[in-house]
Every structure is written in C-alpha cells, then in structure tokens.
Amino acid sequence: MLYAIVGEDHPGSLAARLEARPAHVERLKTLQEQGRLILAGPFPAIDSPDPGPAGFSGSLIVADFASLEAAQAWADADPYIVANVYSSVSVKPFKKVLPA
C-alpha cells in the first residue's frame, strides 16, 4: 500500500538539511530502484523553486510499503531525523487516484 510521509522542518535547519541530504537522497534512490517510490521532494519555505537561504519547511514522500508499521520504521530512520532537521514526521496511508 502507498503511504505519505510528511516531515516538518525545524526553523533554521537548512545547514543541517544540506549536510544530511546525500544520505537522505540515497535512501530515496533505493526505494526508486525497487519501484516503490511514487514521488519525493521538499516544500520551499517561500514561493520559489530555489528558495536560497529561506530554505525549506519540510518534505513529502509517497512510497509503497508493506504496512503502516514498515512505513513508520522507514521514516523513523531518515537521516533528516538523525540530523535534527525534522521537528515532526507524520505517516499516513495514501490512496493514489490520479494520474491513473
């Protein structure tokens, strides 16, 4: 089943985000190679594709996991949590409707 993982960044965590990003992206690439990643990306803190020093307010990942517990365990091990980028993370079942 698909799950939406939404991480909310701590204010001022851009430097920690940039440092942890390579490890974060590697985990996402593994999901992609397994055919389980639907989409992933950050939320710019301002209305711009390149927010510069304003940074990001969080991230969204939609991926296929065997269970809610598996999705939560994967999210709990994210490098952004270890680096204290995320202030909170929610994991919810997700039903994709479009595009078909």
CATH number of the domain where residue 48 is located: 3.30.70.1060
Q: Looking up tokens 């365990």, which residue turns up?
A: 73
> Are 3 and 62 within 8 A, CB to CB?
yes
Peptide bond into 99 cis (omega under 30): yes
Threshold 0.85, pTM exceeds: yes
Asked, for residue 76, whether it belongs to a domain, the answer is yes
Whether 2 shows a pLDDT value over 90: the answer reads: yes
Asked, for residue 100, whether it belongs to a domain, the answer is no
Q: Where in the sequence is the domain holding 88, given as residue range(s)? A: 2-94
What are the pLDDT digits (tens) for 31-82?
Answer: 999 999 999 999 999 999 999 999 999 999 999 999 999 999 999 999 999 9
> Are 71 and 63 within 8 A, CB to CB?
yes
Asked, for residue 62, whether it belongs to a domain, the answer is yes
Q: Tally the domains of the chain.
A: 1
**pLDDT band for position 100 (cuts 50, 70, 90):** confident
Arithmetic mean of pLDDT, 22-36:
98
